[in-house]
Amino acid sequence: MSTPAGFTLDLPFRPRRLRRTAALRELVRESQVRAADLIAPLFVVEGEAAPEEIASMPGQFRRSIRDLVTECRELHALGVRAVALFPKLDPALKDARGVEELNENGLILRAVRAVKAALPELVVITDVALDPYTSHGHDGVLNAAGDDVDNDTTVGRLAEMAVRQARAGVDFVAPSDMMDGRVGAIRAALDAAGFTATGILAYSVKFNSAYYGPFREAVGSAQAAGTKLLSKATYQLDPANRRAALAEADLDEAEGADILMVKPAGAYLDIIREVRERSERPLAAYQVSGEYAQIHAAARLGWLDLERTRDESLLAIKRAGADLILTYFAKDVARALA
């Protein structure tokens, strides 16, 4: 049936009125991503070699401490206010117990000191987990049978690790191991050592995800174990479990976490929303290496527009309820916003 000429619907409200121009769309925009919302994960290695691009993460590099400081200066100038540092160690320094982590002059501690000396106003976050240091690639010390991570022994090591990082000058320690009770133990250890101002950004809801492969290549934990398919199912969350995820977030908040985090972000927007609705703590989400890599891969094949997909993916995380986003797109987005 044809529509009569001049036909007009009798509508009290037309939503398209608010989408008519770019100015109107911006005026009523509910969510936005700012450079100050982003945390840039960065990888550091020993030596003075030029930055080495990570094959599975285009545009991401392993950097010497000198080049790391340069990158931090550039990020800060673009409005990024925080970085998260991850070490890539020489395999010769790794063993089953991750003893190199005990080195008071180790790579990550020297990197923290250098960055804070150059940019004291930049927020520096460090990972608290043993996987960069262990020959088996797990996040902690294995039990006597060697078939699982020993929870309590590992927590003791992590608490000591956090204190060393605080002594080096970090603003936040970020336990990513998913051991039971580690946030409370780390908070107690920091306070006992006089670091009451050092915060804890807890990987509260970290799933046993398939999206971590490129990161494990970047820090060498996959190669240490001899496989990219290393299972961490006994300590990281089952991707099928929503209630368990919320319980983990509740526990970390009760144990003193200053900021909660959900990881990965894109496949778990429902969890981000639920944690946001039940907690008043700041909430972070980690757009992980696999999310970053798949967007780049599809864009290189011409299947997706890189910039539009990048921006939409981050906006979705923000809209779901994240206050802060760890993302490898941090520098590119900050540059685009500037």
- pLDDT tops 50 at residue 161: yes
- pLDDT tops 80 at residue 224: no
Q: What percent of the chain has pLDDT over 70?
A: 96
Mean pLDDT computed over 74-102: 96
| DSSP letter assigned to residue 266 | G
Closest of 88, 59, 55 to residue 221, by C-alpha: 88
Closest of 211, 265, 260, 209 to residue 233, by C-alpha: 209
Of 88, 94, 116, 206, catalytic:
206
Structure tokens at 70: 């340069």
Query: pLDDT (tens digit, 9 = 90+) per residue, 178-190?
Result: 999 999 999 999 9
Identify the pLDDT of residue 227. 47
Identify the pLDDT of residue 229. 60
Confidence band (pLDDT; 50, 70, 90) for 3? low
Confidence band (pLDDT; 50, 70, 90) for 6? confident
Identify the pLDDT of residue 20. 97
- pLDDT tops 80 at residue 88: yes
- pLDDT tops 60 at residue 226: no
The strand ranges marked E within 110-198 are: 123-128, 172-175
Identify the pLDDT of residue 168. 98
Tell me, yes or no, if 331 is annotated catalytic: no
Helix axes 306-320, 269-278, angle to 10 degrees: 30
Closest of 161, 216, 223, 225 to residue 193, by C-alpha: 161
Structure tokens at 110: 């020297």
Mean pLDDT computed over 77-102: 96
What is 33-337's CATH number, 3.50.50.60, 3.40.50.150, 3.30.70.20, 3.20.20.70?
Answer: 3.20.20.70
Query: Which residues are CB-contacts of 231 (< 8 A; sequence separation ≥ 6)?
Result: 208
Of 88, 263, 318, 331, catalytic:
263
Confidence band (pLDDT; 50, 70, 90) for 2? low
Residue written as tokens 């945390």?
Answer: 39
Q: What angle do CA 8, 14, 18 make, to 5 degrees?
A: 135
Mean pLDDT computed over 247-272: 98
Residue 262: what are its φ and ψ, rounded to 5°?
-110, 135
Closest of 294, 293, 298, 275 to residue 285, by C-alpha: 275
Give the chain's mean pLDDT.
Answer: 95
| DSSP letter assigned to residue 142 | B
Confidence band (pLDDT; 50, 70, 90) for 219? confident
Helix (H) or strand (E) holding 277: helix 269-278
Domain boundaries, the chain: 33-337
Mean pLDDT computed over 160-165: 98
Mean pLDDT computed over 68-76: 98
Query: Do 316 and 308 meet the contact criterion of CB atoms below 8 Å apart?
Result: no
- pLDDT tops 90 at residue 220: no
Query: pLDDT (tens digit, 9 = 90+) per residue, 127-155?
Result: 999 999 999 999 999 999 999 999 999 99
Tell me, yes or no, if 228 is annotated catalytic: no
Mean pLDDT computed over 193-214: 96
- pLDDT tops 60 at residue 289: yes
- pLDDT tops 60 at residue 222: no
- pLDDT tops 80 at residue 118: yes
pTM of the model as a whole = 0.94
SS3 content of the chain, % helix, strand, coil (to 5): 45, 15, 40
- The DSSP annotation for 204-259 comes to EEEB--GGGHHHHHHHTHHHHHT-S----TTTSBPTT-HHHHHHHHHHHHHTT-SE
Identify the pLDDT of residue 1. 56
